[in-house]
Structure 1
Amino acid sequence: MFELSLLAPEERIEALGEALDALDALSVSVEDADAHTESEQALFGEPGLPPPKEGWQRSRVLALFAAEPAASEAARLLQAQDFFEGCRVLGVHEVPEQDWVRLTQSQFAPVEITPAFWIVPTWHEPPAQAAQVIRLDPGLAFGTGTHPTTRMCLRWIAGHGMGGQRVLDYGCGSGILAIGAAKFGARGVDAVDIDEAAVRSTQDNAQANGVVLQAGLPELASGRYDTVLANILATPLKVLAPLLCSHVAPGGALVLAGILERQADELKAAYASGCELEVVDSQEGWVLMSARFPAAVPERVSG
């Protein structure tokens, strides 16, 4: 394979990306051209959302092509376009052949949730101390156990146990939380997501892990649950407050993640009419929030 390297200002990134796609680039990536210098810029967004900008003030655009003539022809054609103004071709060079599958797999090692509970890709052997394991490979749906929000939710599940409980995983992604609940003894697990690809991923991952659960679109959720889990993001969590609270059974627990530390007070306010949220865990700038709903009061029998 051959890599075409370009230097471009932020406002040209989108046009270059579209043009390179039309020129049959195998992949296109954007890097900070000033990385590891005093001019380096931080560029980030919340998980599941696009970054706040298309690129950096000075971006390096890297496009892979199957052959050198295709990469060189792309460079020639791009330089003739009006939108290439302010851009520069840095060069075309050969990329050494690598075992890309093995290289990708090497980036995903087993993830420790607790000393006895691990998330393990299928190409790894579980650690000797792992008494409980979820087998999960990286895929299209969010939730491989590597993100702090997922780890905190799983740690909560492991710490509280789900024995005999009815559990709802709202916004299930890969289904990892639903699978974790089933592994820790839940008697009935519903996993829902607005993305049909996530529903399919959850079904496949549940089967691979030998657990039984129901996965579907949000209308699958019905009635009340002993535990309601939602690892999404702060904004949709605020919108969903009445719905999620309505699904928690008396004496049940609501567990929310996808929340930055600075957003905790916003979430407390959004849920104040339904429950009293508290921060119960934190990791790398993210927090896990939970509320325990009051148990039902037995009716008095007159006579």
Structure 2
Amino acid sequence: MPWLQLRLNATADTAEKVGDLMSACGALSVTFLDSKDNPVFEPMPGETRLWGETDVMGLWDAEADMDIVVSYLQMHGGLTKGQRYKLEPLEDKDWEREWMDNFHPMQFGERLWICPSWRDAPAADAVNVILDPGLAFGTGTHPTTALCLQWLDSLDLTDKTVVDFGCGSGILAVAALKLGAKSAIGIDIDPQAILASRDNAERNGVSDKLSLYLPDEQPADLKADVVVANILAGPLRELAPLICRLPLPGGHLALSGVLESQAEEVASAYQSHINLDPICQKEEWARISGIAK
């Protein structure tokens, strides 16, 4: 099916209004794109954060009368007189096939590979985790997940218990089990994440070793040899007293989901309980790790 895309520039004050107007006049989807590569991180719950210079893109059926759409936007203040906009056809593609073609097996550390189910594992004797991109809970493509996977690969997890705090897709817990951990515990505030983690554990044949909890259901005396928390800087700071209680003395802890500029502040919340390693960086992201005192 062919499509038409209308693209125009807006500001943080006007972008949401423009998007609403596009939807009101028949846009099948509306996308906000940072036009100056200036991302905003950690929006407050329920808050829509928009960039200072934002391209708003609406998508219509190719048979839509775009003159009517443009007139509607001009009439209601979504498009000012003389403001430039771009109207372009989009090629009709097999989007699902193209999406699948973009995902390849990825290696983390020396042994660990994350593989989509539709591709062959590159090394049968490696540690292969089968995980498909789906809900945005973590597939290994983001630097913070990569930092955590590399860290897990560097440890001897034989007979160890691992806590994945903020488990999302379960990728870290499943990887730890495939790397030799005796058992893993996944904790997340989102019931959908619990379901995703359970599905991925079953797909990888480790569901019998993985326990999953919402925060108010987790055991009060929970302890583990290895703890990894890939969430965000704000929650990591706020939850530091809770997270510091999870590793056994001498146990390993890793924290990510942290921007390089936030790492020192987050690390300071843990240094009284954790002997910290040098902060590890990947692109603009960081991993904080250490040994529990």
Aligned-partner Cα distance in 1 for 2:195–2:152 = 23
Following superposition, the deviation at residue 26 of structure 1 comes to 2.2
Following superposition, the deviation at residue 115 of structure 1 comes to 4.2
* Cα distance, 1:32–1:250 mapped onto 2, change above 3 Å: closer
**Aligned-pair identity (%):** 37
Of 134, 139, 153, 2:129 maps to 134
Following superposition, the deviation at residue 88 of structure 1 comes to 4.0
* Cα distance, 1:284–1:80 mapped onto 2, change above 3 Å: same
What corresponds to 2:50 in structure 1? 54
Following superposition, the deviation at residue 193 of structure 1 comes to 0.7
- Per-residue displacement from partner, 1:20-77 (whole Å, max 9, x unpaired)? 22334222223466xxxxxxx33113378899952453x4432112242254443332
TM-score calculated relative to the size of structure 1: 0.84
* Cα distance, 1:129–1:243 mapped onto 2, change above 3 Å: same
Could you tell which deviates more after superposition, 217-226 or 177-186?
217-226
* Cα distance, 1:209–1:241 mapped onto 2, change above 3 Å: same
| SS across alignment from 1:154 | helix
* Cα distance, 1:64–1:137 mapped onto 2, change above 3 Å: same
Could you tell which deviates more after superposition, 155-164 or 275-284?
275-284
Contact kept? 1:4, 1:92, Cα under 8 Å:
yes
* Cα distance, 1:48–1:104 mapped onto 2, change above 3 Å: farther
* Cα distance, 1:87–1:99 mapped onto 2, change above 3 Å: farther
Number of equivalenced pairs: 286
Could you tell which deviates more after superposition, 60-69 or 243-252?
60-69
Contact kept? 2:4, 2:62, Cα under 8 Å:
no
Aligned-partner Cα distance in 2 for 1:102–1:271 = 45
| SS across alignment from 1:145 | coil
* Cα distance, 1:89–1:23 mapped onto 2, change above 3 Å: farther
Give 5+ residue unaligned stretches, structure 1: 34-40, 295-303
5 Å matches for 1:72-111?
A: 72-85=67-80, 88=83, 90=85, 92-111=87-106
Aligned-partner Cα distance in 1 for 2:177–2:30 = 40
What corresponds to 1:15 in structure 2? 17
Following superposition, the deviation at residue 198 of structure 1 comes to 1.2
Aligned-partner Cα distance in 2 for 1:283–1:6 = 33
Aligned-partner Cα distance in 2 for 1:49–1:166 = 33
5 Å matches for 1:185-224?
A: 185-212=180-207, 213-222=210-219, 223-224=222-223
Following superposition, the deviation at residue 280 of structure 1 comes to 5.3
What corresponds to 1:36 in structure 2? none
TM-score calculated relative to the size of structure 2: 0.87
* Cα distance, 1:87–1:173 mapped onto 2, change above 3 Å: farther
What corresponds to 1:276 in structure 2? 275
Contact kept? 1:190, 1:221, Cα under 8 Å:
no
- Per-residue displacement from partner, 1:193-238 (whole Å, max 9, x unpaired)? 1111111111111111111211221234322111111011122111
* Cα distance, 1:71–1:183 mapped onto 2, change above 3 Å: farther
Aligned-partner Cα distance in 2 for 1:115–1:250 = 27
Aligned-partner Cα distance in 2 for 1:76–1:68 = 17
What corresponds to 2:177 in structure 1? 182
* Cα distance, 1:45–1:102 mapped onto 2, change above 3 Å: same
Aligned-partner Cα distance in 2 for 1:185–1:176 = 14
| SS across alignment from 1:204 | helix
| SS across alignment from 1:173 | coil
What corresponds to 2:226 in structure 1? 227
Following superposition, the deviation at residue 87 of structure 1 comes to 7.4
Following superposition, the deviation at residue 91 of structure 1 comes to 5.2
* Cα distance, 1:8–1:45 mapped onto 2, change above 3 Å: closer
Give 5+ residue unaligned stretches, structure 2: none
